[in-house]
Structure 1
Amino acid sequence: MDERALDALEFEFVRGEIAKCAQTSVGRARASGMAPFAERADAEDELARLDEAVRMLYRVGAPPFAGIESLEDAVKRAQRGGTLSADEANRLARCIAGMRAMRQFVERAQEAGDFPRLAGTVAPMADLRRTEQEIRQVVDEEGQVIDHASPALLRLRDEKRRREGEIRAALDRLLRTQAKYLQEPVIAMRGEHYCLPVRVEHKGQVPGIVRDVSSSGSTVFIEPRAIVELSERVREIEVMEEREVERLLYQLAAAVAQVADDFLQNLGVAAEMDFVFAKAAYARRIDGKRPQLTDGVWRLHGARHPKLDRDAVPIDVELGDPFRLLIITGPNTGGKTVTLKTIGLLTLMAMSGLFLPTKRESDIGFCRHVFVDIGDEQSIEQNLSTFSSHMRRIIHMLARVTPDSLVLLDELGAGTDPAEGSALAVAILDELTSAGARVVATTHYAELKGYAFRNPAAENASMEFDVETLRPTYRLLMGVPGRSNALAIAERLGMPKKILERARSHVAESDIHVEELIGKLEAASREAERLRDEAERALREARDQAADLARQKAAWEHAKESLRTEALREARDVVERARREADDVIREIRSLRDRTGVKDHELVELRKRLEAAEPGEKRAAPTRRAQAEVRPGQRVRVLSLGQKGDVVEVAQDGKAAVVQLGAMRMKVDARDLEVVGEVQPTAAPSVARFRGTKDVRMELDVRGETVDDAISRIDKYLDDAVVAGISRVVIIHGKGTGALRNAVRRYLRQHPHVKSSEAAGPGEGGDGATVVHVRT
């Protein structure tokens, strides 16, 4: 990968952000050295592993990395035959324990979830618990060699403590007996010697060795002769103790040297895991989405540059299918360079196995090379020097470009004569597209807009500019070339009309038509985007409703099966009790059959009839009972609909009847009717009456009401419908903005009186009404 491309696209910024998320020095080192993968398969494997890390991060958190640090120098020194300090041995033990805890965390998470790649990453780690135990037998967690590290060390330290106790006792005794000769009753240390501060005029009264004199000369520090021999013995013990400690640490270094390769391997795995979870933490911070790597096709949806916050205007970009060249035009400071850098940096991130700051999953073309020419035109250098540097970079690209390359060119052809610059830009673009590379170029040249129209492998795009506010919107419009807007901006700023008219007279008529056409394309693009957003919202709502209906249906099926099973069990219990009672009765009748005259075959027939009443898993549908004669004016129930209505008319042969069901009148087979009562003389066709209750209409109109008022009326209306025995009603809410409709339907889905609901048919109001099936 071209290092200049990494620098120009600010890849170092992403490295630094991921390094901030790492928890160990070895993980930060891996992040600082991150680079795009050379092979697509490696990048896809890393994306899959990062996907597992993100899921683990959300489910159970990140593995622990406490104690893990870079100790390669100490281990390699031990491998070469050197020794370790007590502090280094302690840090090695902590590092081994930390790596083991990390591995165990991942293995437990794998048992509870699906993280095969992460589990595979830690699988090669060696178990170094024995080495850790060997270290802890010598060095404690404070980095000190413990007394029981060896019998010799314990003996030396016990003797040292005993000798030091004797010295303190002798000094305490001298402080009491020689107090009158002392400057003050304290013990002073001079180097390794315990001394008494004696007044200079009494130095002959305290036998011992003068070790120091105060700066004023009034005090001499004398090591009493009584403790000289004891102090010398303590120093001898300390030398032997130091040698024993060195021996023990050298033994530890030898033990570490035996597992040096395993330790370094484990340390490499720990660095890799910390690096992966640092990338996962960064992905969560930027709300990153997993990209899909493709063969030379880019489809970015709502992409943002990682340096920009989430309020930045996202861009949608396509490249590679069907066009390989994208020419972006637009005003200065409109976002062309940022768009160019966003495409390039997100490509490098995807090739490095990173999630991208996009609105949804996007496609990134995997490429072997990324060539970038992004310069600062506001340079203090002369134009010739700027143009020359651009040309040198482009010449370098042309010599190395391949079909699997991405080329990003900022202000192509700038810095020289416009006519020559645009001609040179066209020739360069021809050469790059003929080589098969994917190219994104920004420009101010109007000639390149026409070039994109003529070239089937090219496409125009522009950064939107609001002429009303004279500000860029930073939105990228695909398929629309940018307008110059110079005359419009001058007019908005107050340029005199006669000057503007004179300027327009110098503009070719064809250019004016092109500007008008571009304006219409921009308006059409904005309208299409608005309609697309509305369609996406409608699709999401429809999917949510479908999922909700599926859940309700599943719950209903489960409840129905539970009720059926319970009813079947209760019926069997009833029949079983009846059978036992019948058997008792039959036995009694048989004992008396001589007197009663009951025959055996009659008893058998009774038993068969009883067994036939027993419920089973599958029962034949019961035959419809004979219906009473239907006549006009009767209140009936349509069995197939579960709806009550009034008989308006009966056919001459009596086989069919016309029934008024609310606002609907329909012809029904007489066998599908059940007489439930007589219609009251004053009842209206669209109103149902039931056992003297108040009138309940078959529909309720809440159009124009607020959500709270409508919900209150619907709740009372459903209560009245249940009391009246109405099983099907219609709620009319209108279409409007959809707010009232959505609120009503959400409320109906959770209402206890509602079995189900759906949008009304074309004859009942369509999407402006909702049909409700009531539990009666």
Structure 2
Amino acid sequence: MDKRTLETLEYSKVKAQIRTYAASSLGKAQIDDMEPFLRQQEAEAELAVVDEALRMLYRYGPVPFGGITDIRAALKKAEIGGVLGTDELNRMVDFIQGGRRVRQALQVDSEELDVPRLREVSELLYDARKTEEEIRKAVAEDGTIWDHASSELAKLRNQRRQLESRMRQQLEQMLRSHARYLQDPVIAMRGNSLCLPVRIDYKNQIPGIVHDVSASGATVFIEPQSVVESGAKVRALLVDEEREIEKILQHLSGAVAEIGSELQQNVECLALVDQWFAKAAWSRKENCERPRLREDSTWILRQARHPLIAKEHAVPIDLSLGDRNQMLIITGPNTGGKTVTLKTVGILTLLAMSGCFLPSRQPCDIGWCDNIFADIGDEQSIEQSLSTFSSHLSNIVRMFHHVTHESLVLLDELGAGTDPAEGAALSMAILDRLKAVGARVVATTHYAELKVYAMNDPMAMNASMEFDVETLRPTYRLRLGIPGRSNALAIAARLGLYTDVIEQARGYVRTDDARIDALLQSMEKAQRETERLHQEADEARHQVKSLEDELLRKEEELRVETEKARRQAVDEAKAIVQRAQSEAERIIRELRSRKDSGHFKDHELVELRKGLESALPREVERIVRKAKQREKIRVGAVVRVLSLGQKGEVAEVSEDEQTLTVQLGLLRMKVKQSEIELLQNAEGGGTSAPTGGRSVKRGLPRQMPLQLDIRGETVDEAIPRIDKYLDEAVINGLARVTIIHGKGTGALRDGVRKYLSRHTQVKEWVRGGQGEGGDGATVVTLE
């Protein structure tokens, strides 16, 4: 790729953005070396693996790269026979552990997430656990060597510590016996020798070797003669210890060198993985889309923006090149965004060819090219005596030597810096040459001749940067198919140039140029109106499509719900019939057996009657009640207040029929219609009806007590009363009642509970709770 183009398009600045997302120095170095691929297949493979990394990033979060550093220098040192230090060995252990964590993170089950390339790379990561354990057994994390690193080292250190212990005991004894000669009663270390701090006046009182003198000269540090021999042995042991440590480090360095090629492969793989995830993280942050690389040299940018412009400030562009036209000629006012558009096409092409996603709202098509040539900006040079025109022309001459039919050429201000007539003619000739070669060209210009050139040449297309004539400001939107105006006079007016000067300038504008300008203005207005109508049509189409989709969805939901309700109703009906048949058969069998025996008991008949009534399941009762509930409730209707479980008579109905006044014995209360259950509606519309000249008032039901007290009764006396009480409770719709039988001997309690256990209307019974009488009462829940 042309190095000058990479500089012009600020490729390194975009790489610096991506570099910040790399987790290790290996990944950062890999991104620093990143360049566009030379073959399309390589770029496609890179895009595929970045896509896998992005999906994995969204699913599981970042990959753990902790501990991964650049160990290549240490590897090289070990491979040529050098001895690695403890710090280098510890970094080697961290690298091995970090590589294993990355390997485990990449080995995702294909059923959860299909990332074949990442799994393939994870298989290449060598797990040097054996070498890691060997290093860790010898080298501590703080860089010290463990005693058990070798048996010889353990023996040397044990001997040294024993000698040092005896020496300290001797010196501590001297501290006590020669305290008057000492500056301080402490043992001082000078080099590898244990010394006593002796006052200068008494240095001859303690025979030994002087190793140091204090800065003031008042203290000398003497190694007493009694420990000199032991000190010499300690120093000799230290020398042997250092030699043994050197042997251990040499052995560990050899172990590292043995797997040097495997670790080198790990370095390369981890650098690639870090680069892929850095690209993925950058793509997620910039809301990027995966581009499609095309062999037919076609570019279709959809809502694309320059990566170096902040998302909130960038104006996305739509652009097509190569599908219907070979050249795109962009015109428009200064500071309108022509150069940014040119750079956007170039940098997005470089990124796509480098295997990066592109900052766009929709996937873009990028034509694969063998090279990109860019002549952008003013590169005049005083040292080389180059003017603006000379600089541009030198770049174009250099392009002509290398451009091919697979190249992309970006030309900014084509033909500028010289006489307009000659500059326009030269520009057209340059475009003819590039067209003949077959290169794809995007050029910006102010020359009206080039606008006409693009209109007359079927291989070229006009484009322009939109300018808002009302605000006199550019909108930075690219419009295809229509040339733009420079709007120099309008911009001059916005910048404050005197009105009379502007009017005088208008008088100098040639009539032909004015007519062309007016025609372009009319075309711009027509295109804006067309775009508005297209947008409205798209919005209407999307709205209709949304409504159609919503209608189809609701229709499908209704069909599913209807089918579900139908199946549920069939199942419930079958269950209802089955229960009714079973209960009826049981009652019939019971009646036959009673008839054969020749006698009936009253309470047994009551039980059979309740059993027959219960053959109508509660589901059917609820359906009947709901049907009744839909009736218009009249004054005088008998209803049940659901929140109280009590029956009453409707005394008054509100105008909206949503609130009822219900008479509950002596209590009159207002309730919502949704909170009552209609038991029996009133005939007519009032509380009374004339019958034979007399007024007959509907009586209120007798209040049903929630407790039955049978204390003092026998079981035989209590059973009929309980049976009758439960019948009335069921008729009145009570769900829970209490039977008070007292504690006493427990005979009445046990008899009552035994009877309740086989009663058909009793769902369950429990002993009374706190405040309900405890074991002296039984709380009954009815069916």
Question: Please, what TM-score do these two structures have when normalized by structure 1?
Answer: 0.72
Contact 1:384/1:415, CA 8 A, preserved across alignment = no
State the aligned residue count.
600
Structure 1, residues 150-204: CA drift from partner, whole Å, max 9, x if none? 2222222222222232233333222222221122333333222222221221111
Task: Give the aligned partner of residue 474 of structure 2.
Answer: 472
For residues 155 and 524 of structure 1, what CA distance do their matches in structure 2 show?
97
Residues 552, 427 of structure 1: CA spacing in aligned structure 2 closer, same or farther, 3 A cutoff?
same
* 1:231 shift after superposition: 1.9
Residues 502, 314 of structure 1: CA spacing in aligned structure 2 closer, same or farther, 3 A cutoff?
same
Task: Give the aligned partner of residue 335 of structure 2.
Answer: 333
Paired residue secondary structure (2:197): strand
Structure 1, residues 457-506: CA drift from partner, whole Å, max 9, x if none? 11112222334444332222222222132334455667677765654454
Task: Give the aligned partner of residue 133 of structure 1.
Answer: 133
The letter for the 2-side match of 1:400 is: H
Task: Give the aligned partner of residue 522 of structure 1.
Answer: 524
Q: Within 5 Å, which residues of 2 pair with 1:169-180?
A: 169-180=169-180
Task: Give the aligned partner of residue 485 of structure 2.
Answer: 483
2:413 is the alignment partner of 1:399: no
Task: Give the aligned partner of residue 645 of structure 1.
Answer: none
Task: Give the aligned partner of residue 14 of structure 2.
Answer: 14
Q: Within 5 Å, which residues of 2 pair with 1:520-669?
A: 520-542=522-544, 544-545=546-547, 548-549=550-551, 551-577=553-579
Residues 487, 86 of structure 1: CA spacing in aligned structure 2 closer, same or farther, 3 A cutoff?
closer
Task: Give the aligned partner of residue 318 of structure 2.
Answer: 316
Task: Give the aligned partner of residue 308 of structure 2.
Answer: 307
Task: Give the aligned partner of residue 739 of structure 2.
Answer: none
Q: Within 5 Å, which residues of 2 pair with 1:382-393?
A: 384-393=386-395
Larger deviation, residues 494-503 vs 318-327: 494-503
The letter for the 1-side match of 2:212 is: D
Residues 79, 497 of structure 1: CA spacing in aligned structure 2 closer, same or farther, 3 A cutoff?
closer
* 1:423 shift after superposition: 1.1
1:372 aligns with one of 371, 374, 392:
374
Residues 132, 561 of structure 1: CA spacing in aligned structure 2 closer, same or farther, 3 A cutoff?
farther
The letter for the 1-side match of 2:15 is: R
The letter for the 2-side match of 1:147 is: D
Residues 400, 382 of structure 1: CA spacing in aligned structure 2 closer, same or farther, 3 A cutoff?
closer
Q: Within 5 Å, which residues of 2 pair with 1:41-440?
A: 41-108=41-108, 110=110, 112-294=112-294, 295-310=296-311, 311-376=313-378, 384-440=386-442
- Give ranges in structure 2 of 5+ residues lacking alignment: 594-631, 633-652, 658-673, 679-783
Paired residue secondary structure (2:189): strand
For residues 95 and 466 of structure 1, what CA distance do their matches in structure 2 show?
59
Contact 1:467/1:489, CA 8 A, preserved across alignment = no
Contact 1:60/1:109, CA 8 A, preserved across alignment = no
* 1:238 shift after superposition: 1.6
Residues 520, 168 of structure 1: CA spacing in aligned structure 2 closer, same or farther, 3 A cutoff?
farther
Contact 2:24/2:68, CA 8 A, preserved across alignment = yes
Structure 1, residues 219-256: CA drift from partner, whole Å, max 9, x if none? 22211122222222222222222222222222222222
Paired residue secondary structure (1:140): coil
The letter for the 2-side match of 1:298 is: W
Task: Give the aligned partner of residue 594 of structure 1.
Answer: none
For residues 541 and 292 of structure 2, what CA distance do their matches in structure 1 show?
23
For residues 532 and 175 of structure 2, what CA distance do their matches in structure 1 show?
96
Task: Give the aligned partner of residue 717 of structure 2.
Answer: none
For residues 169 and 470 of structure 1, what CA distance do their matches in structure 2 show?
96
For residues 34 and 156 of structure 1, what CA distance do their matches in structure 2 show?
53
Contact 2:380/2:388, CA 8 A, preserved across alignment = no
Structure 1, residues 317-339: CA drift from partner, whole Å, max 9, x if none? 22112111111122322222111
Contact 1:326/1:440, CA 8 A, preserved across alignment = yes
Task: Give the aligned partner of residue 508 of structure 1.
Answer: 510
Task: Give the aligned partner of residue 767 of structure 1.
Answer: none
Structure 1, residues 11-39: CA drift from partner, whole Å, max 9, x if none? 10111111111011111111101111112
* 1:558 shift after superposition: 4.0
* 1:578 shift after superposition: 5.9
Structure 1, residues 383-435: CA drift from partner, whole Å, max 9, x if none? 85332232222112112111111100111122222222211111111110111
- Give ranges in structure 1 of 5+ residues lacking alignment: 592-675, 677-691, 697-718, 724-776
For residues 338 and 422 of structure 2, what CA distance do their matches in structure 1 show?
22
The letter for the 1-side match of 2:302 is: H
Larger deviation, residues 269-278 vs 481-490: 481-490
Contact 1:175/1:185, CA 8 A, preserved across alignment = yes
For residues 34 and 189 of structure 1, what CA distance do their matches in structure 2 show?
56
Task: Give the aligned partner of residue 625 of structure 1.
Answer: none
The letter for the 2-side match of 1:367 is: C
Paired residue secondary structure (1:137): helix
Contact 1:47/1:290, CA 8 A, preserved across alignment = yes
For residues 228 and 140 of structure 1, what CA distance do their matches in structure 2 show?
33
* 1:77 shift after superposition: 2.6
Residues 489, 379 of structure 1: CA spacing in aligned structure 2 closer, same or farther, 3 A cutoff?
farther
Contact 1:34/1:352, CA 8 A, preserved across alignment = yes
Contact 2:472/2:490, CA 8 A, preserved across alignment = no
Contact 2:380/2:387, CA 8 A, preserved across alignment = no
Contact 1:2/1:371, CA 8 A, preserved across alignment = yes
* 1:369 shift after superposition: 0.8
The letter for the 2-side match of 1:343 is: V
Paired residue secondary structure (2:55): helix
* 1:65 shift after superposition: 0.7
Paired residue secondary structure (1:347): helix
Paired residue secondary structure (1:266): helix
For residues 405 and 501 of structure 1, what CA distance do their matches in structure 2 show?
46
The letter for the 1-side match of 2:402 is: R
For residues 543 and 226 of structure 1, what CA distance do their matches in structure 2 show?
103
For residues 209 and 382 of structure 1, what CA distance do their matches in structure 2 show?
77
Structure 1, residues 602-658: CA drift from partner, whole Å, max 9, x if none? xxxxxxxxxxxxxxxxxxxxxxxxxxxxxxxxxxxxxxxxxxxxxxxxxxxxxxxxx
Task: Give the aligned partner of residue 635 of structure 1.
Answer: none
The letter for the 1-side match of 2:231 is: S
- Percent identity of equivalent pairs: 52
* 1:112 shift after superposition: 2.3
Residues 577, 404 of structure 1: CA spacing in aligned structure 2 closer, same or farther, 3 A cutoff?
same
Paired residue secondary structure (1:241): helix
The letter for the 2-side match of 1:238 is: L
Residues 249, 436 of structure 1: CA spacing in aligned structure 2 closer, same or farther, 3 A cutoff?
same
Residues 288, 506 of structure 1: CA spacing in aligned structure 2 closer, same or farther, 3 A cutoff?
same
Paired residue secondary structure (2:100): helix
Contact 1:110/1:119, CA 8 A, preserved across alignment = no
Contact 2:482/2:523, CA 8 A, preserved across alignment = yes
For residues 204 and 170 of structure 2, what CA distance do their matches in structure 1 show?
19
Residues 430, 498 of structure 1: CA spacing in aligned structure 2 closer, same or farther, 3 A cutoff?
same
For residues 337 and 296 of structure 1, what CA distance do their matches in structure 2 show?
22
* 1:341 shift after superposition: 0.9
